[in-house]
Structures are given as structure tokens and as C-alpha cells.
């Protein structure tokens, strides 16, 4: 029974990924962008155009092109990115760690502020804390990310000078450490170069905070909603009647019962941060996954786009699987 469940789950994942890749591939071929022009430019002659058109396999039927791409992908070959001239795998190996670093710090900020704020808003309902939480949630959910980024740069970088400007490092520190992992903060610690480490922290704190605003708003609002629902249950009254203090009831009973719901929200929020950081990365000139995907889309580079789509699919499926595993640990009833 367990093996059959695993087989069905694996089949569902493979079918989802295949459908996602196929949909992206055929929609990409319908875009008006010409990948040949992206390679040779606007002024090449017709003979050069025809040669490159044939080399890229664009003269073959769409189904054949897709099957050839799948075969190469299964061998670990994602092809060359037309707009960079490098292997897609090597481009992603440079770009994706930058996004993981940014999104991880953002989700830590979002959870670290959003969960306590949501709990406090529920416990002190209709108090100034509750109004503040709802106001911050409304601002974080409605304010455009690019506007928050620009305002943050104007205030905290240009005016106050509290943080560093765009990019991952100052120009003087670029290429000063070996890229052991691709994560700049970790690589700086491995090298023992604290000047690079603190410069990287100085650069990442503002974009991570801007990126965290939306997830913090969502997490705080949903935490408040979940807590209000639990605090209205009869078992809360029973626990208080047994002599437990207010905060003991909240910590040991109400909050524990919303953990499964919170895990789902946090996992989805982290996935969206990983694949949806393009506006933040653009405003802060952050050389990450979102900017790479956008550049691939604008260039009509299906090799880059399909590899990015595959990664996005793996992220969402992987985080959902992690959330499912955490359910069984947090709530034995789901086993």
C-alpha cells in the first residue's frame, strides 16, 4: 500500500512537471521574440540567419523540438543561454544562490515579525496592537514592491546612509573571495574575511526587508485569523478553568493547534519569494534567479526559460513535500 502511494505520488509529480514544461515550451514558441535575432543581431544577412535557424533546430516540427529538448534535459544538458552565450546550468549555478540567500533572509524576517505580530493582534483584539498589525498588513500587502524598493533606497541609502546601495557587494570587494558555495555570506565566513561578510550584510538587509514586507503581511494576517479561531474554541475555556495562565493556554494549546496551518503558509510564502523576487532584484541590481528568468523571457531564450520553469516547479513541489513531512511531526493525527 505504501509503495503504491509513493508510486502514485511520483507519477503525479512527473506528470505535473512534464505538463508545465510542455505548456511553457509551446507558449514560448508563440511569442513574437525571435531567438535567432537574439544570437546574430538585427543586421545579419539572410544566409547567416538561415544557418543559425537550422543550427538551433527551429526548422524542425515543434513536437520534435520539444522531445529533443526533453532528451537533452534528462542527460543534464540544458543547452546554452542565447543572451549570455554560457551554459544555462553554469548561469543558474551563479544566479540561483543569490536568490536563495535573499529569499531565506526575507522569510526569516517575515516569519520572525509576522507570527508574533499576528499572535499579539489576536490576543489583544481591537487594541492598538491589533490596529497596528492590521495597518502594517494592509500596507505590506498593497504597496508595490518596486515602489517600496525605490523609497527604501532613497531614504535609507541616499539620504540616511544606513545601508549600502544596489548589488551584492561594493565594487572594491567583487571577486575578492573564492565562490565555494555561491552563497556570499557563507563564502565570506569560510574565507574568514569579515570585511566582505559585513559589506554583504550591509547590501542584503534592505532588499531582504523589502522582499519580506509582503510575506510578513500575509503571515501576520493569517496568524491572527487562525489564532482568533482557536481562541474561540471551548477547549480554551476548559484549559483556563483548570487553572492554566492565559499565556500558557496560548502557547501550549492555541498556538500549537495552528502550527500545521502556519507551516503551509510559510512554505508557500518561501516558494513565492524564491521565484517572485524579480522586482526586488531589478530595483537593487541583484544578480539573481528572477532577473535571469526575465532576461531569458525578453530574449525569447527557451533554453533559459525552460530550465527556470523546471526549477520553479521543483521548488513548489519540494516545499510542499517538506510541509507534508512536517505535518506528521507536528500533528500525529495526520500520520
pLDDT at 205: 93
Mean pLDDT throughout 19-32?
76
Between residues 3 and 66, the one the model is more confident about: 66
331 dihedral zone (left: phi>0; alpha: psi -120 to 50; beta): beta
Residue 287 has pLDDT above 60, yes or no: yes
pLDDT of 185 above 60? yes
Instruction: Please give the pLDDT value at position 258.
Output: 85
Q: Which residues contact 269 (CB under 8 A, 6 or more apart)?
A: 107, 110, 215, 218, 219
User: Can you give the pLDDT at residue 165?
Assistant: 84
User: Please, which pLDDT band fits residue 108 given cuts at 50, 70 and 90?
Assistant: very high
Residue spans per domain, the chain: 2-74, 89-334
pLDDT confidence tier of residue 106, bands split at 50, 70 and 90: very high
Task: Identify whether the C-beta of residue 78 lies closer than 8 Å to the C-beta of residue 303.
Answer: yes
Is it the case that residue 24 has pLDDT exceeding 80? no
Q: How large a percentage of the chain has pLDDT more than 70? A: 93
For the cut 90, the answer to whether the pLDDT of residue 107 exceeds it is yes
Per-residue model confidence (pLDDT) at position 2? 57
CATH superfamily of 89-334: MetI-like (1.10.3720.10)
pLDDT in tens, 54-71: 777 777 888 888 888 888
Q: What is the pLDDT, as a whole number, of residue 203?
A: 92
Question: What's the pLDDT tens digit per position in 204-245?
Answer: 999 999 989 888 988 999 999 988 888 887 777 787 777 777
Higher pLDDT, 25 or 92: 92
Q: Is the pLDDT of residue 332 over 70?
A: no
Mean of the per-residue pLDDT values of the chain: 82
So what's the pLDDT on residue 64? 84
The 3-class secondary structure across the chain, one letter per residue, is CHHHHHHHHHHHHHHHHHHHHHHHHHHHHCCCCCHHHHHHCCCCCHHHHHHHHHHCCCCCCHHHHHHHHHHHHHCCCCCECCCCCCEHHHHHHHHHHHHHHHHHHHHHHHHHHHHHHHHHHHHCCCCHHHHHHHHHHHHHHHCCHHHHHHHHHHHHHHHCCCCCCCCCCCHHHCCCCCCCCCCHHHHHHHHCCHHHHHHHHHHHHHHHHHHHHHHHHHHHHHHHHHHHHHHCCHHHHHHHHCCCCHHHHHHHHHHHHCHHHHHHHHHHHHHHHHHCCHHHHHHCCCCCHHHHHHHHHHHCCHHHHHHHHHHHHHHHHHHHHHHHHHHHHHCHHHC
Residue 188 has pLDDT above 60, yes or no: yes
What pLDDT score was predicted for residue 9? Answer: 66
Amino acid at each position: 500500500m505504501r509503495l503504491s502511494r509513493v508510486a502514485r505520488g511520483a507519477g503525479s509529480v512527473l506528470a505535473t512537471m512534464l505538463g508545465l514544461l510542455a505548456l511553457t515550451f509551446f507558449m514560448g514558441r508563440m511569442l513574437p521574440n525571435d531567438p535567432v535575432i537574439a544570437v546574430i543581431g538585427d543586421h545579419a544577412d539572410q544566409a547567416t540567419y538561415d544557418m543559425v535557424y537550422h543550427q538551433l533546430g527551429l526548422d524542425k516540427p515543434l513536437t520534435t523540438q520539444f522531445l529533443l529538448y526533453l532528451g537533452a534535459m534528462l542527460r543534464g544538458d540544458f543547452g546554452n543561454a542565447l543572451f549570455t552565450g554560457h551554459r544555462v546550468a553554469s548561469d543558474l549555478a551563479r544566479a540561483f544562490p543569490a536568490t536563495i540567500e535573499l529569499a531565506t533572509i526575507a522569510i526569516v524576517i517575515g516569519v520572525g515579525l509576522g507570527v508574533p505580530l499576528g499572535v499579539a493582534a489576536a490576543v489583544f483584539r481591537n487594541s492598538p496592537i491589533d490596529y497596528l498589525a492590521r495597518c502594517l498588513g494592509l500596507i505590506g500587502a498593497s504597496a508595490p514592491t518596486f515602489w517600496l524598493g525605490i523609497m527604501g533606497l532613497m531614504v535609507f541609502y541616499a539620504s540616511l546612509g544606513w545601508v549600502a546601495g544596489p548589488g551584492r557587494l561594493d565594487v572594491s570587494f567583487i571577486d575578492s573571495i573564492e565562490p565555494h558555495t555561491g552563497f556570499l555570506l557563507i563564502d565570506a565566513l569560510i574565507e574568514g574575511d569579515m570585511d566582505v561578510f559585513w559589506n554583504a550584510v550591509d547590501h542584503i538587509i534592505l532588499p531582504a526587508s523589502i522582499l519580506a514586507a509582503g510575506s510578513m503581511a500575509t503571515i501576520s494576517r493569517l496568524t491572527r485569523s487562525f489564532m482568533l479561531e482557536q481562541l474561540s474554541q471551548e477547549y480554551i475555556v476548559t484549559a483556563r478553568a483548570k487553572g492554566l495562565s492565559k499565556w500558557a493556554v496560548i502557547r501550549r494549546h492555541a498556538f500549537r493547534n495552528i502550527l500545521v496551518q502556519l507551516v503551509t503558509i510559510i512554505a508557500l510564502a518561501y516558494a513565492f519569494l524564491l521565484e517572485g523576487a524579480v522586482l526586488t532584484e531589478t530595483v537593487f541590481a541583484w544578480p539573481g534567479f528572477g532577473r535571469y528568468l526575465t532576461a531569458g523571457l525578453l530574449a525569447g531564450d527557451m533554453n533559459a526559460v525552460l530550465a527556470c520553469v523546471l526549477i520553479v516547479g521543483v521548488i513548489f513541489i519540494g516545499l510542499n513535500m517538506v510541509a507534508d513531512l512536517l505535518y506528521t511531526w507536528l500533528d500525529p493525527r495526520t500520520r
